Structures are given as C-alpha cells and as structure tokens.
Amino acid sequence: MLPHMRVSMRLATVLCALFLPAALYAQSTTLPASLLVLAKQDQTLSIVDPTTLQVVARMPVGNDPHEVIASTDGRTAYVSNYGFGAYNTLTEVDLAGRRTIGSIDLGPLHGPHGLTFVGGKPWFTAEAAKAIGRYDPATHKVDWILGTGQNRTHMIYVSPDQQRIITTNVSSGTVSLIEMQPLRMPGPPPGAPRTSGPGGPPPGELGGPMPRKDWNETVIRVGNGSEGFDVSPDGKVLLFTEAGEGGGLNYSVYQRKIGEASAVRLGDGLAITVSPDGKWVIASPPSTPAQLVLLPTGPGEAKPLTHDSINHSRARWLPDGRRFLFSGKEPGHAARIYLQDSSDGKPVPISPEGIDPLVLVLSPDGQQVVGVGPDEKAYFYPVSGGEPKAVPGVELGEQPIQWSEDANAIYFYKPGDLPAKVYRLDLSTGHKALWKELMPSDSAGVSRIGPILLTPDGKSCLYGYHRILSDLYLVEGLK
C-alpha cells in the first residue's frame, strides 16, 4: 500500500470548446478540408483525408508535439512543443506545401501548450512562464505577452474581437477571465498643468494621458472538492456542492453566475436543482432519512420541502415551478420516481421499483422523465403515469444526461469510460452521434468523470472528475 494518498475532486467550469484536442480540421477556399493529427511518440503531424481517413502527408514537428492549430485560411499550422516546460518553441508547418517550415523560438516562454488562432496570429500559453503570448507571422516575432500569475496556465480561448481571453490554470485550480476594459484614470492633482487638449501634448506622447483601456484579469477559483450539479434554465448560473475544506462538516450549497469570480453560499447540504424562476434551490441537508429543503437564492429563509419516511436522492422541478419529481427509497420498497405537488402534497410513485435513483432526466415540457430501470436500460416514464417505454439507441449501462432544448434529442454517456464520450441521440431518426469527448488536459490520476452538465442550449458543458494522486516517500537510515 502507498504510504500516503491524496484524493481530490475538481470541476472544470469552462466551455468544452475551450479544450482543443490534438486533432482538428484545416479548411480554406483553395485547399480541401483536412484533419490534422499529432503523433507525440513519432513527433510528426499528419494530414488526413476526413472522407477516406487516409494519411496524405506526414511532417516532422520537433520534440513533444502537444497541440496543433491551423490558420484561418488553412494554409499554415502551428504546433506547440511542450515537454512540461523543457521546450520553448512552436513548429510552423506549410500545409499547402506539405512541409515543415521550422521552429519559432519563444525565448523565456517555456512550456508552450494551448493554442488558438485569432486575428491572423497564433496565441499560446506558456506553462513554465505562467504567461500567455502571441506570435506575429509577418514580423516573425512574439509581439505580445501577458503574465497570468497562475500555475500551469494550460489552455486558451481568445474571442474573435480579441477583447476577451480565457485560460485554464491546472495546478492553481483556477480559470482566468482576462478582458479588455476601460481604465479608471484619476484626475490631475490640484494646480497641475493640463496634459491634453489645447496646449498639451497629443494623447500617448510623453506627458500625455495613458491608454484608456487595459487588460483586467479575474481569477475564478475552482476549489478542490467542488462538484457541479445543476445549471439554471437560462444557462447563466451554476449550482454546486462544496465537499472540500470550504464545505464544512455538513457540506455547502453554492451558486455562481457563470463569468463571475465569486460564488455565493446558500446553505448546508448537497445541491440538487434550481427552480424555473431561479429564486429557489432544492438541497438535501444531512438527515436520516435524507429530506429535501428549499434554499432561497436571494433574501429569505430555508423551508422544508419534504417531511416523510422516504430517503430522497435526486429531484427536478416541473416547468410550472410548483410540482417536482424526486427519486427515493421508502421502507419496504426499492427506489422509485415520485411526483409531488408543493410541500404539502403527497408523493405519488410514477415508476416501478428498482430504478437507478441517481438518474432523473426531465423533458423540457415536463411530460416525461428518462430514468434507468432495474435492468440498467433507459426508459421513458410518463409523469402523468402509465407504462414505461424503452429509449431506443441507448445501450445497456449508458446513462442519460439531458434532453436537447427542442426535445428532439437526448445526450448520454457511459460512466466509467475514459475519456467520457458524450453522444447525442436523435429521437426521430434514431441516429446516434458522438458529441464530445471529455477528459482533463492533465489526466494523471483521473479515475472517473462525472457528473456531466449541459447548458439548456447544448452549446456548453461542465464536468467533474475524480483524481487519485499519491506521494511516494523515501526513508533512509532504518535498521
């Protein structure tokens, strides 16, 4: 047995599109669409025909190639040579000519990793330098650098207008939101001469006013022990449980507006779901059997929601904001799904016994819920009651995550798979397509991915993961 073990749970609270794999499409008006694939061990970049999946060209790209990005016109690719901080180069590749152009020396910016291409230039992270940078192909120089002050600044997103940058900082457990914002300039001291306007130097010259915009960094902490659990109906608020040091003995329910740095503690317990109007949260504080309470997201007091002999697990609001579904187990029965009308109503079971109490996926219209039956298959359960129907296309052991906003599809994945593969099932055609592969960029020690959350529009996702890290100690002098 290892002498010491650390177990951590982290929540990746960034857009899934931020995590670029080492393979992408390069396309332009003159070049055919191509798939770019890095082979780290062979230190090569392959151009693959996406139709036939045949390799049409292969070029050397230097030590430890980690990420690749193509220029907007699809004629040039840039590869980061990472080496966990040992290297400080990008490799430039001529995709049209199918040849390696050469290495780009980044100077002190060691450990380049994440890449994106915006405004005609490649942007990159430099982990060992705790910085991000931008390379100008026209001048063949790094023309911009900004320090993040965070450990292992890993991946990068730059908005098309270059006014917002998002980075993930692995070892700090943070996300940096870097925005171009107006400066609040103090006025001149009393009696000081004017420095602009008539008789003053032009803006930007010696003695003139400083630039009126600058980068502002907001560091968003993604604490160890945080577990995302629900996203508000408008996709703007994340509800999560803090089970680490910040959660206390009884855990804590927090909500955070996506894009803001701070989270607001709502109360004790496990976070479950947000009401349709965003004013209330269902949570489950420690009790035996586990009950449900209402926590206000604004001013107000917590209120009991259930008071029965059922051991409650998951819950979902119906669109009317009055009724809700929950899964639970009452004495003498296996787990079922229940429907309850307000806190004074009586729970009514709507599913057979033996369902998985951790799966409760409500349709947008509130007419049916997808759950997993005792045979580990997914079923549609009518909220108004009736016989369940199997969900065609979802295989044994696969777990539904969420309906699409138009109710025409269901997203699901298979717990235990690494990376986690999220599929989208079209309910009208039965077509099943891979939507995303989810895996932290630093995958060391990752043993399980989940929960997985999607915003209602299906454009973004959040996911948690379990990581087991070990420390190995050397003891000397024992006899």
DSSP 395-447: PTT-EEEEE-TTSSEEEEE-TT-SSEEEEEEETTT--EEEEEEE--SS-TTEE
Average pLDDT of the chain is 81
Whether the CB-CB separation of 204 and 211 falls below 8 Å is answered with: yes
User: Of all residues in the chain, what percent carry a pLDDT higher than 90?
Assistant: 38
Q: Where is average pLDDT lowest: 1-15, 83-97, 141-155, 360-374?
A: 1-15
- 23 pLDDT band, cuts 50/70/90, is very low
Tokens for 7, please give them: 């177990």
Q: What gap in Å lies between CA 40 and CA 160, rounded to an integer?
A: 30
Q: Which of 210, 202, 219, 299 is CA-nearest to residue 259?
A: 219
241-254: average pLDDT: 71
Task: Write down all domains in the chain, each with its CATH number in brackets.
Answer: 31-184+213-219 (2.130.10.10), 392-479 (no CATH)
Q: Where is average pLDDT lowest: 181-185, 252-256, 273-277?
A: 181-185
* pLDDT for residue 143: 95
- 450 pLDDT band, cuts 50/70/90, is confident
* pLDDT for residue 344: 76
Peptide bond into 419 cis (omega under 30): yes
pLDDT at 369 over 50: yes
